[in-house]
Every structure is written in C-alpha cells, then in structure tokens.
Structure 1
Amino acid sequence: MSNSKITKFDAADYLDSEETIAAYINAALEEDDPDILLVAIADVAKARGMSRLAKDAGLGRESLYKALAPGAKPRYDTIHKVLSALGVSLHARPNAAVHH
C-alpha cells in the first residue's frame, strides 16, 4: 500500500496567464449557470490575490468576496471592473445552436 498523499485540486494554481484565464472564464460562461461563472472569477481572483484585485478593480476586499460568492447577484459594472482588472473582457459571438 502506498502512502501517496492526494491533494485537493485548486484551479487557481493553473491560472497563470491572460489566455488561460480567458479560456477558463469562457468555459464557465458556456455552462449557463451564474454561480459557475462567479466561482470561476473567484478562482482567478484567488490566483491573482484578492486584496490586489480588489484594489485594481476599485472595490473593497469584502465587497469583492461578497460579489463573487455563489448565489450573489453582482452588478454588471462590478463584473466588468473585476474582469478588466484581471486583463480579460467579455465578448458576444453568434450562437451556432440558434437558427433563425
């Protein structure tokens, strides 16, 4: 029997570039669940440092934690400020599944 130690996966450990962050947030957006998006943004915020991100976004640290908690209903401008501070932005694209 091995004494290997299993560590909990933490996405924040892998979010080390704007490209990776953008891909992670895009994957969360595809899930069509606001809580998944908030968790993804919180993972990125953790990777960058919550205090630093709050300052860069012009928000209080506690406000940032509350805005990114599952079930929160943050305002668009809050999400926009946070994503801008992370170096990414949201973009619209045609949905291939919708036919008119």
Structure 2
Amino acid sequence: MTAPRDKSYDASLTTALTDPAEAAAYIEAVLELDDPAALLVALRQVAKSHGMAEVARRADVGDKTLFRALSESGNPTLDTVNKVLHAVGLRLSVAPLAGVHG
C-alpha cells in the first residue's frame, strides 16, 4: 500500500516547476534515469504546473490530445514533446555523453 503524498510537497513542486530553470533542471535530472516512464511523469508535472489547458493552448494541441499524450499510457511524439516544452518556456537540446567517444 502506498502512502498518500504530502500535499505541501505537491504544492512546492508545482510552484518550483513554473520557473523555467527549475523545470529544466528537473527534466534534465529525470533524463539521467534513462526511464521513458519517468520522463513522461516529469513532462506531465511540468505541464500541470503551468495548467494543462493553458499548455495545450500555447502548444496548439487539443486538450484531449495533450492529456492522452502525457497520461501514464501515453506515448507522445517528438513534435508534441517539443511543443509542450516550448509552451512552458523550454527547448530540447542535445549534449555529448560524458566518457563516450564517437
């Protein structure tokens, strides 16, 4: 049985994720996990912190499409991820992996 999450933590996370620098650091840390499900949760949390309907509007994506793409069983396209990131003031970028040579 899982314990209910502390409401103050959720509120604190929501507030923090409205800051683009905090959201970027959060998503970058989740990317280090190399876990697509965790990334989906992080994207959903960032979008929720900005208001899902507002993110859908800014991203020019339908509300239902956004909710479905970021749901637990969602599988958003790269285009949708890019639009969501732009809608919350972030962008996708690429960096070399440490210790990996081409």
Question: TM-score when scaled to structure 2?
Answer: 0.83
CA distance in structure 2 between the aligned counterparts of 1:12 and 1:34, rounded to whole angstroms = 21
Find the counterpart in structure 2 of residue 3 from structure 1: none
Instruction: Write the mapping of 1:1-100 to structure 2, written as runs, cut at 5 A.
Output: 7-8=6-7, 9-10=9-10, 11-99=13-101
| Greater radius of gyration (CA) | 1
Which amino acid in structure 1 is aligned with residue 15 of structure 2? D
Q: Which string of whole-angstrom CA distances, capped at 9 and with x for unpartnered residues, describes residues 22-46 of structure 1?
A: 1011111111111111111111111
Q: How many residues align?
A: 95
Note the C-alpha offset of 1:99: 4.0
75-84 vs 89-98, greater mean Cα deviation? 89-98
Gaps of 5+ in 1: 1-5
Note the C-alpha offset of 1:51: 0.6
Which amino acid in structure 2 is aligned with residue 53 of structure 1? V
Note the C-alpha offset of 1:89: 1.0
Percent identical = 43
CA distance in structure 2 between the aligned counterparts of 1:99 and 1:57, rounded to whole angstroms = 36
Question: TM-score when scaled to structure 1?
Answer: 0.85
Note the C-alpha offset of 1:94: 1.0
Q: Which runs of 4+ in 1 moved over 6 A?
A: none
Comparing both chains, which one has the higher relative contact order based on Cα–Cα distances under 8 Å and sequence gaps of 6 or more? 1
Partner secondary structure for residue 82 of structure 1: helix
Note the C-alpha offset of 1:58: 0.5
Gaps of 5+ in 2: none
Q: Once superposed, what is the RMSD of the aligned Cα atoms?
A: 1.6
